[in-house]
């Protein structure tokens, strides 16, 4: 069974080993007797307060966790230029025009191993509307023949296939890309619009993620995109992100975990988290653009450490048969319904445990204040780490209050 997750505003989680979990639901019902006729009247306006208490112990980590390789994204569904079109293909009149413009486009980056070697090694993906020869050298070039592509989806397939089958130099050694990079494909962020614009179907691989197998933040760097040998700017770009998200694996003592908990004594809500969908419930189907309002971005404080670490929810796992299509137990997270008509019965609670979403081509955990059904949106009210000298470990007690709309500093 996965551990309980305390969710922070920056999409990271603190995992907790718990030995006791308590849900406290208090429904606000007014009731009073009527004189003479000796009967009683109740007034129920569907109001409830929900508290969640979690207690457990902290232990020293036996294995290093939390490591990740730096990764970048190429998304051929999104317009990455400064023009107003939503999809990349809308910048062109035909696919032949696309191939003509792509001829000579170069995307240059480095693997973590190349950066660590400090020998000036790098990799260039060079798109050609025809054949060409790749180069395995200090400045390796992977030539990608796009002449047979017919859509942004097949273009992504061609790019991914070329990377996987190529070799490059890493610390002077010839190395297969498949051993140093993990290349995966998924639906582009503008999949539906891109597919409609091209009159195609089955566009499920426009988003390419290129991830280093070597962990560590050393791999984070700016990826450059240019056109032709002169390095001219390519004005009609699809989306190409920089390498980011690298992190080294880390072990923590139980005292480290206590200190991280104490560090939450100073955290900021960052303005407000407002979800009209949590109010409208299932009665009104609001578009996603209306249902997500994060004031910290408007206030430009979303990157402050005190805002990023703010606790926005708790995810508590359980096993379900009622929501399983296979007859076998599946992992789900407990949910609390909010809004008119919203129902999260055991049969309807069918989201996979610890779901992810893609925002600006970055895979993150969705904020439970801004998307219903992914966890319990909650604020941390109190926490009490306690050292037990006789047993030699730190225990903790956490108290959360479930809320769906938040205003704060």
Summarised one tens digit per residue, pLDDT across range 42-86 is 999 999 999 999 999 998 888 887 788 999 999 999 998 888 888
- Name every residue whose Cβ is closer than 8 Å to that of residue 288 and which is 6 or more positions away in sequence: none
Longest dimension (CA), the chain: 98
Contacts by residues 146-151 (CB-CB < 8 Å, ≥ 24 positions apart): 146/99, 146/102, 146/103, 147/99, 149/95, 149/99, 150/95, 151/89, 151/95, 151/198, 151/200, 151/203
Q: What is the pLDDT of residues 145-162, one digit of tens each?
A: 999 999 999 999 999 999
Whole-prediction pTM value?
0.70
Q: What is the pLDDT of residue 272?
A: 84
Confidence of residue 289 (pLDDT cuts 50, 70, 90): very low
pLDDT digits (tens, 9 = 90+) for 233-255: 788 999 999 998 888 888 899 99
Helix, strand or coil, per DSSP, at residue 244: strand
Structure-block tokens of residue 170: 């890493």
Is the pLDDT reported for residue 288 higher than 50?
Answer: no
Name residue 23's beta-bridge partners.
Answer: 52
Alpha helices in 181-271 (DSSP H): 191-198, 254-262
State residue 402's pLDDT score: 96
Per residue in 5-25, pLDDT tens?
999 998 888 889 999 999 999
**Which residues are CB-neighbours of 389 under 8 A, at least 6 positions away?**
none
What does the angle CA 379 – CA 384 – CA 389 come to, to the nearest 5 degrees?
155
Backbone angles phi, psi at 2, to 5 degrees: -65, 160
Q: What is the mean pLDDT of residues 359-363?
A: 64
Give tens-digit pLDDT for 323-346.
Answer: 999 989 999 999 999 888 888 999
Q: Residue 266 — very low, low, confident or very high, per pLDDT cuts 50/70/90? A: very high
pLDDT at position 282: 55
pLDDT of amino acid 292: 52
Contact indicator for 344, 318 with CB cutoff of 8 Å: no
Residue 291 has pLDDT above 50, yes or no: no
Local structure of residue 140 (DSSP, 8 states):
E
């Amino acid at each position: 069974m996965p551990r309980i997750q305390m969710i922070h505003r920056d999409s990271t989680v603190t995992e907790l080993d718990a030995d006791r979990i308590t849900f406290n639901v208090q429904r606000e019902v007014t009731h009073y007797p009527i004189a003479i006729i000796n009967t009683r009247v109740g007034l129920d306006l569907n109001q409830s307060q929900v508290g969640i208490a979690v207690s457990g112990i902290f232990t020293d980590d036996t294995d290093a966790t939390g490591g990740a390789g730096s990764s970048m994204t190429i998304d051929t569904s999104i317009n990455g230029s400064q023009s107003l079109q939503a999809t990349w293909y809308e910048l062109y009149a035909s696919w032949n025009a696309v191939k003509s413009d792509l001829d000579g486009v170069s995307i240059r980056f480095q693997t973590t191993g190349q950066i660590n070697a400090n020998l000036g090694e790098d990799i260039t993906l060079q798109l050609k509307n025809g054949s060409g020869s790749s180069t395995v050298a200090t400045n390796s070039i992977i030539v990608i023949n796009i002449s047979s592509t017919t859509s942004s989806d097949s273009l992504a397939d061609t790019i991914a296939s070329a990377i996987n089958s190529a070799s490059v130099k890493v610390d002077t050694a010839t190395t297969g890309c498949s051993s140093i990079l993990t290349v995966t494909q998924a639906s582009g962020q503008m999949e539906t619009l891109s597919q409609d614009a091209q009159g195609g179907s089955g566009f499920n691989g426009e988003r390419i993620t290129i991830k280093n197998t070597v962990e560590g933040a050393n791999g984070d760097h700016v990826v450059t995109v240019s056109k032709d040998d002169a390095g001219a700017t390519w004005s009609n770009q699809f989306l190409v992100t920089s390498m980011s998200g690298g992190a080294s694996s880390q072990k923590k003592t139980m005292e480290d975990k206590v200190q991280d908990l104490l560090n939450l004594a100073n955290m900021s809500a960052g303005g407000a988290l407002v979800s009209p969908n949590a109010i409208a419930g299932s009665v009104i189907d609001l578009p996603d653009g209306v249902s997500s309002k994060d004031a910290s971005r408007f206030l430009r404080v979303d990157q402050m450490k005190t805002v990023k670490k703010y606790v926005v929810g708790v995810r508590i796992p359980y096993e379900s048969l009622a929501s399983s299509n296979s007859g076998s137990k599946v992992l789900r997270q407990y949910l609390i319904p909010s809004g008119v008509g919203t129902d999260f019965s055991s049969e309807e609670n069918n989201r996979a445990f610890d779901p992810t979403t893609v925002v600006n081509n970055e895979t993150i955990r969705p904020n439970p204040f801004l998307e219903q059904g992914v966890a319990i949106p909650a604020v941390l009210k109190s926490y009490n780490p306690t050292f037990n000298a006789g047993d030699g470990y730190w225990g903790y007690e956490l108290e959360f209050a479930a809320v769906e709309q938040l205003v704060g500093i």
